[in-house]
Structure 1
């Protein structure tokens, strides 16, 4: 202990004290540097442990979109009153269509068979089609549909107009290409104006059927009645 407090050597005491002071200062600097390093490591660990958890932006975006799309009653975000992009536009009111012109109508006459045996009554089908590019209305009551049957000599033997009464007007709207069909059964009896009852049946033979719908004529068809 005496050699520490009282240096012994060939040099003067000041030299030994200066050397010892340099050593002590060096030790102090080393100790300070070690302490600072330990503190820095500790602070970094604490900050990493206590810092907020980072969210994956792609996960956040996906979660938000799914909630808007699947949550019942969810209200789209954005400016109040604004129409969401891509949403359907409210349908506009449909204006009433005008009456079909004769040029916009095509009428066809058909039947299930070309030959009818004894007791078989032909069902005659008139079909009207809107051939225009716009909707229009067509009269569909029986009063505007007329069917006539003529024999081989061209004499008229039956007409649906003989027993038709003009009732209430009935109209249907037809879209472009849309059709309406009406069926009339011919009992194979003759008819006369005023629709008298007890008319006789026609004889077996070949007959031609013509049909019109509101004045528009269909191509005639031919029937053969047997028995």
Structure 2
């Protein structure tokens, strides 16, 4: 007589059948779990599941600014005749004690992309009043770097970090000395810039109070 069909023990046979049924259900559940892990329903065969897409933030204007560290760009060098350099200040009139922020803009007016060295080593800011030069950025400049950048046609890039003018007269001999403030009280000044030897075509006028 088979003990599988006719369980032998002190308890009724239905108790043993119930135990066998529970064990069988548990075994089937384990098999199902293993199959699901191997098959991975919902995934395409041979493909890696793609991550959920997220919305990217739009790049800011700083993404196209002139870099402050060395960079590399390949392409034909810009023809100076197709480059427009502009002198930029953050205001036209400054209150007493307010320091002007100086920047430069570079525009490729040509029809093809080209490269230009727009690093701080190639930027010159000059402030004049009448025929007199009051301040020049290269007089006491430190940590100069070259940075070749690619200019796309019709696009303009600008300084990432403006230069702050302390309203003093510059002189290479007084870089470590305390310098006197330039005349203010409504005095008019003009900013000119140059990048990679290309000067700004116009000056930017501003007033110091």
Same fold (TM over 0.5): yes
- The aligned counterpart of 2:10 is none
> Which residues of 2 match residues 165-204 of structure 1 at below 5 A?
165=142, 167-182=144-159, 183-194=162-173, 195-204=175-184
Structure 1: runs of 5 or more not aligned: 1-71, 74-94
TM-score calculated relative to the size of structure 2:
0.58
Distance 1:181 1:170 in 2: 13
Q: 1:213 aligns with which of 180, 195, 201?
A: 195
- The aligned counterpart of 1:159 is 136
Structure 2: runs of 5 or more not aligned: 1-43, 46-72
Distance 1:98 1:115 in 2: 40
Does the Cα contact within 8 Å between 2:120 and 2:145 map onto a contact in 1? Answer: no
> Which residues of 2 match residues 86-97 of structure 1 at below 5 A?
96-97=74-75
> Which residues of 2 match residues 1-227 of structure 1 at below 5 A?
96-152=74-130, 154-165=131-142, 167-182=144-159, 183-194=162-173, 195-204=175-184, 205-218=187-200, 219-226=202-209
Alignment coverage as a number of residue pairs: 135
Task: Tell me: higher relative CO, structure 1 or 2? Use CA pairs within 8 A at least 6 residues apart.
Answer: 2
Q: Deviations over 1:158-188 (max 9, x none)?
A: 1001012473421111111122211222111
Question: 3-state DSSP class of the match of 1:107?
Answer: strand
Larger radius of gyration: 1
Greater share of residues in helix: 1
Aligned-residue Cα RMSD (Å) equals 2.3
- The aligned counterpart of 2:61 is none
Does the Cα contact within 8 Å between 1:138 and 1:172 map onto a contact in 2? Answer: yes
